[in-house]
Structure 1
Amino acid sequence: MELTSAPLHKGQLPWRGLLLAASLLTYWNSPATAQVTVEAVPPLVAEGANILLQVRNLLESPQVFYWHKGDSVYESNEIARFITFMSKNKTGPAYSGRERIYQNGSLLLQNVTQKDAGIYMLHMITKNFAFMTESVQVHVHPKYTTYWNVPTTAKVTVEAVPPHVAEGNSILLLVHNLPATVQTVYWYKGQSVNRRHEIAGFLISKGRNETGPAYSGRETVFRSGSLLFRNVTLKDAGPYLLRMIIANFDARLSVNFQWRKQQ
């Protein structure tokens, strides 16, 4: 992921607020690999709550489901496995007593902590003894979040979770460190503030959402400023702009996030 920034000059944007831009990239997989996906439900979970790593589009049940903590498949980081023909669970070294595997391969994490955040790997052995692997990232935020009321834009960032998404899945444009002085947040499709491209906003002072002309019915803006897309399509790919109206200072910042395929 590359991060580039450029200052804005006086007169460019006739409003008070912050601007953050993020690119949403949609990766299309072949039918053979796009069938099985894993989605974190909810995509962002608070400490002490539960999260389900839900397996979707499973055409047939594999012989065994394995869940691992981390970005590799080793016996030492195995949480648990489900042997389908025996309908039996077997725990591994990374099992904490708070995980449960269902018959469809989905993994429930209960009473999550900050230590649970990170990548999880699902490894499957099919009936034809083929191997399939999918990954998902768990994001955990503190139960009580403190925002620093500092007149600076350097700490505000946007992260696409996951950074690459397949057709039909969900993606969260996650805002980090939203200042407490923000009154309203708006999301736009594209790289400029244009009413026609406004997707939706959240009026923090009133605690309610407001949709715009570019709203498709699949987007949700949260109080934190984050934007959730459901059932994404190729048309959703491209840059997105976050505008934040701030009460006690006038700051403008343009940040461009770019994701590249690893070589």
Structure 2
Amino acid sequence: MRDGETKAEAGRGHLKLVGAGLPGHHALSCRNLTYRAGGRPLIDGISLDLVRGGITAVIGYNGAGKSLLLRLLHGLIRPSSGEILWHGEALSPAHRKLQAMVFQKPVLLRRNALDNVVFALASHGIHDRERAEDALFRVGLADAAGRAARLLSGGEQQRLMLAMALARAPQLLFLDEATASLDPASIQAIEEIVLDAVAAGTKVVMVTHDLGQAKRLAGEVVFIDRGRKAEAAPTDSFFNNPRSAVAQAYLEGRLPHQFQIHRSQA
């Protein structure tokens, strides 16, 4: 983070347009990424270049394929076709160790908060209790280290999930609606943690239905419609002048059945 720059500006200011950038500047790329199930494409020929640094918000209607896209990019699901590249190389298990993902619903062990972070580190070959303690401190849960994870509030559990992810110092962090259903104070706390991570050099790709959050945090928006990339643009440009009809309808709050748009227009 540069002198005089706010955390939000750090999150927004270091991002280039999808498809831009020089070779080697991309943290993660995909080419013609497709995933089929039941004979139909759920992700349909998406190509993206996620440039190092900053925050990319992935938005779209329910069922558009946003969460599935993140799982594919993280290597949790094998695509039907297409390729995923990590700094220009085919995504491998070794590359996945440089990434982390936090889901909407916390997945925690029936142990205390500290032991959850210790276990998360150990599962990646890192045996460092002090590092786990530091991760809890960074997310404001140092005083909750000995508390059972299942007894933490929803916001605290999500911060614990962030501690487990960030303890490994990932180069790329995926967030799948990580603040959904949380109270405003918890959302603000998590956003601060995310911005701190970005300021420290972590690239963040987040699925969110909170358009205010996308405006606050992201430097770029990727809009997914029916499994395809309908639009990708800097945040201000997307919200002020969306190029696709489907994105404009979405921002106006119209539901899919309230308009007729051919895929060629999206």
TM-score greater than 0.5 by the shorter chain: no
TM-score (norm 2): 0.28
More helix by share: 2
Whichever of the two has the greater Rg, that structure is 1
* Structure-1-length-normalised TM-score: 0.29
More strand by share: 1
